[in-house]
Amino acid sequence: MNKRIILRLSNEIGNQMFMYASAYSLSKEMNRELFLDNETAFLSKKNISKYALDNFKITSHIVEDKYKFKNFSGYLKRKFLLKINSLRSKKKFFIEKKNINKVTSFDNSFVNKTFHDHLYLEGHFESQKYFINHSDEIKNQFQFINYHEFKNNSFFNEICNSNSVSVCIRQNRFNEGRGKNNLENINKSSKYSLEQINYINKASSIIKSKIPNAKFYLWSNDFSNLKKENFNFKFTAVNISNHDIKFDIRALNLFLISNCKHFIVTPSTFNWWGAWLSNNKDKIIIRPNDNYFSLFKINNLDFWPETWLKI
């Protein structure tokens, strides 16, 4: 197989998983070998995000350096190739399309296009519609390398031996990052956190009506101002961020979430994947409707699986 797809990875672990799952499925359907660019997009974001797929038993290989666009000369080379891509009969780039509001949706137009032998794939592709036909393979690709070590975590048996419900709250959504920590963004983040709590409380009432002995486990990137009196249910905070461990905390948290029985998910690729990877056949997954949050919208119109319960 000489034809390739070269996937440009970026952002955090949940985003990378969407990219990989979609690219893996496209490579199967297009009869191409999948290679990963694990550096180009991360070079300018070393303190923000980093490559994370080495936490899984993926079968795709890292592409050779000559196919990456590192340093300034690589940046210029990519710009030039993108500029002339529209003139090629066999396109060298397939980039996820966005509408005028920068929102994407499932797009299978690649099926009717002709591409160069080395095809560069760029985008987030945050929809299971890209890989639903390869679900079992994707779950195998996303087996955790440190599975046996992760099982030794103190929360694991507790989660597995109860009617565990995963709950995630994304804090500081608008004021993280360089130059963003101002009063306006802090207030926006605070409002978003309160809206998430409101939604989670409603979702928890539904869970409790269906599962009387449900036990809730809460994950967050910041527990500092999450007061138990703000919630209408008791929960166990899964806070391992300060533990001195040798593993990638992102992967360990995702592993623990994926072993829960049921899920209350927020607009986050991270907890999306935790729910999707769960093998519980009777799992209940509750997700917010598309207009629930006033300050934050999902970037892909096909982000949510149709079988997840919408409130």
- What's CA 246's distance to the chain center, in Å? 22
* Alpha helix positions (H), the chain: 13-29, 71-85, 135-141, 147-150, 156-160, 183-210, 249-258, 269-277
pLDDT, residue 109, reads: 82
When pLDDT is averaged across residues 157-176 and rounded to a whole number, the result is 95
pLDDT above 90: residue 7: yes
The rounded distance, in Å, linking the Cα atoms of 57 and 65 is: 22
Range list of β-strands (E), 9-71: 33-37, 61-62
Taking only the tens place, the pLDDT of each residue in 22-47 is 999 999 999 999 999 999 999 877 66
Taking only the tens place, the pLDDT of each residue in 289-311 is 999 999 888 889 999 999 999 99
Neighbours of 219 (CB within 10 A): 24
Neighbours of 117 (CB within 10 A): 10
Helix-helix angle 13-29:249-258, to 10 degrees = 70
Residue-averaged pLDDT of the chain = 93
The rounded distance, in Å, linking the Cα atoms of 229 and 282 is: 30
Long-range CB contact pairs, 27-30, < 8 A, 24+: 27/60, 28/134, 28/137, 29/111, 30/3, 30/5, 30/110, 30/115
pLDDT, residue 223, reads: 93
What pTM value is reported for the model?
A: 0.95
Taking only the tens place, the pLDDT of each residue in 123-149 is 999 999 999 999 999 999 999 999 999
More confident residue, 109 or 162: 162
pLDDT, residue 45, reads: 72
Going across the sheet that includes 91-95, the strands are 61-62, 33-37, 4-8, 115-122, 91-95
The rounded distance, in Å, linking the Cα atoms of 141 and 178 is: 34
pLDDT, residue 1, reads: 57
Is residue 58 a contact partner of residue 140, using CB atoms and an 8 Å limit?
no
pLDDT, residue 243, reads: 58
